[in-house]
Amino acid sequence: MSREQRGPNEKLGAVLALAGISNAGLARRVNDLGAQRGLTLRYDKTSVARWVSKGMVPQGAAPHLIAAAIGQKLGRPVPLHEIGLADADPAPEVGLAFPRDVGQAVKSATELYRLDLAGRRAGSGGIWQSLAGSFAVSAYATPASRWLITPADSSVARDVGPGEGSGAPLKVGHSDVQKLREAAEDARRWDSKYGGGDWRSSMVPECLRVEAAPLLLGSYSDEVGRALFGASAELTRLAGWMAFDTGQQEAAQRYYIQALRLARAAADVPLGGYVLASMSLQATYRGFGDEGVDLAQAALERNRGLATARTMSFFRLVEARAHARAGDAQAAGGALKAAESWLERARPGDNDPSWLGFYSYDRFAADAAECYRDLKAPRQVRRFTEQALSKPTEEFVRSHGLRLVVSAVAELESGNLDAACEQGVRAVEVAGRISSARTTEYVKDLLHRLEPYGDEPRVVELRERARPLLMAPA
């Protein structure tokens, strides 16, 4: 359905011309983005012509899908007002701001928390459905540069007067902050073991809305405030990581930006680096290797002389992942060597942050294997994957599944079809026990690589075993 504006939508026509998108091309892109979110859309070139020449405004999520489709072609976010659709049903660009003022930072984060819940209650994707396909790696440029210039606010103390909120002002203490930290620790465990889509993991956005938001809007000293912002940043980064794992890239991006801003308010430079590393992994996963390198190097730059050896090792490992995706074997090898060197310097008594508890030599080996997979060096992939799979992984089930798929790819590229299928079967078994769109995508990639061997009995068996996984709802 559509409603009519007054006269042609010249803004939309101009931006389409700038992006080099035809009417038929835009219709196809919008339909495809809708399909990614379970929407059946049947727009065609005539529909687009009506939007441009008659000023018709499509209803529901369509205006936001139009903006997302054009934004993908231009490589940047496209706000609705730029395409003459500002009066469409609202889906604010919430969560993309990185305010300089700490009060505005609180407002930006808490708005995101509230909007996520509204989306969940809407029943069919809510706000994230409207933002389908709106991930743009360029949205990370301003947050990263502002964090590099000023990684800490001068003061975050907040005093809420009696007339500034409903009821008595909330006085925040260290015990309130500790509850958030415990929630983050629990969420990390569930996420690693069951995937970002597990119902226990998905309680994180609810915790942000119900627990973190009222605290951030309360009264606190500078000391308590720093701790509060740090705990909230951890939870917000976790919400982003879980959204990333379940394929909600647009939601993940907004959580990451707010997590970085909260880490700046906490004056926690290593935590800010960890958020930037998460941004880098997302950019790399989406195919933006060069941007992934920039984000990883931003994490490294501010942490020189501050972060522990294990933390610096992880940042260099993330940098290596991005170099490998960008196809730079020499840079990737150098970053891997530096990551291993930093890891060898780590000692049990080091004051490593709690959020780095997952990182050991096993994880280093697993990511090194993925680097060499991207660089098409199967012998190195096999060497590191064997090390990554050498220990039991009851705590990190998802990671184990991903490693099995990488191992299968290495075996296939080495000409060992039977071994590839054997590892693939094990990976499918693990993937079936967790809720992780990322793991499913890895399995799909393996099956795609096996298509030339489609009639082989072991491949047919693997495909059949994977069928329930691939048919499961997202």
Residue in 356, 412, 349 with CA at minimum distance from that of residue 381: 412
Task: Quickly count: other Cβ atoms within 10 Å of residue 244's Cβ.
Answer: 25
Q: What is the pTM of this model?
A: 0.79
The whole-number pLDDT of residue 123 equals: 37
Query: Can you give the pLDDT at residue 164?
Result: 55
Rounded mean pLDDT of 442-460? Answer: 92
| pLDDT tens-digit readout, 382-411 | 999 988 888 766 667 888 888 899 999 989
Task: Taking residues 215-239, report their average pLDDT.
Answer: 97
Least confident among 59-73, 261-275, 276-290: 59-73
In the predicted structure, residue 269 carries a pLDDT above the cut 50: yes
Closest CA to 400 of 414, 390, 409, 410: 390
Cα separation, 266 vs 474, in Å, equals 35
Q: Once rounded to an integer, what is the mean pLDDT over residues 356-375? A: 93
Q: How confident is the model at residue 215 (pLDDT cuts 50, 70, 90)?
A: very high
What integer pLDDT is reported at residue 80 of this predicted model? 81
Within 199-248, where are the H helices?
Answer: 204-207, 213-216, 222-245
CA–CA gap between residue 409 and residue 443 (Å, rounded): 10
Selection from 110, 218, 140, 204 nearest residue 173 by Cα = 218
Q: Is the pLDDT of residue 178 over 90?
A: yes
Measured CA to CA, the distance from residue 254 to residue 139 in angstroms comes to 9
If you average pLDDT over every residue of the chain, what do you get? 87
Which CATH architecture does the domain made up of 2-83 adopt?
Orthogonal Bundle (1.10)
pLDDT tens readout for residues 21-34: 999 999 999 888 77
With cut-offs at 50, 70 and 90, classify the pLDDT of residue 168. Answer: low
168 compared with 135, residue with greater pLDDT: 135
Tell me: pLDDT of 457 over 60: yes
% pLDDT > 90, the chain = 58
User: CATH: 2.60.40, 3.10.310, 1.25.40, 1.10.760. Which one for 360-474?
Assistant: 1.25.40
* Domain range annotation of the chain: 2-83, 96-125+140-158+170-267, 360-474
Which pLDDT band holds residue 122 (cuts at 50, 70, 90)? very low
Count of CB atoms within 10 A of residue 137's CB?
A: 21
Task: Identify the residue with better confidence: 294 or 433.
Answer: 294
Mean pLDDT confidence for 73-88: 80
pLDDT over 90 at 125, yes or no: no
pLDDT computed for residue 470 by the predictor:
81
Helix or strand or coil: residue 72? helix
Distance, CA of 226 to CA of 268 (rounded, Å): 8
Q: Which of 61-75, 102-116, 210-224 has the lowest mean pLDDT?
A: 61-75
Position 21 scores a pLDDT of 94
Residue 338: its pLDDT value, please?
98
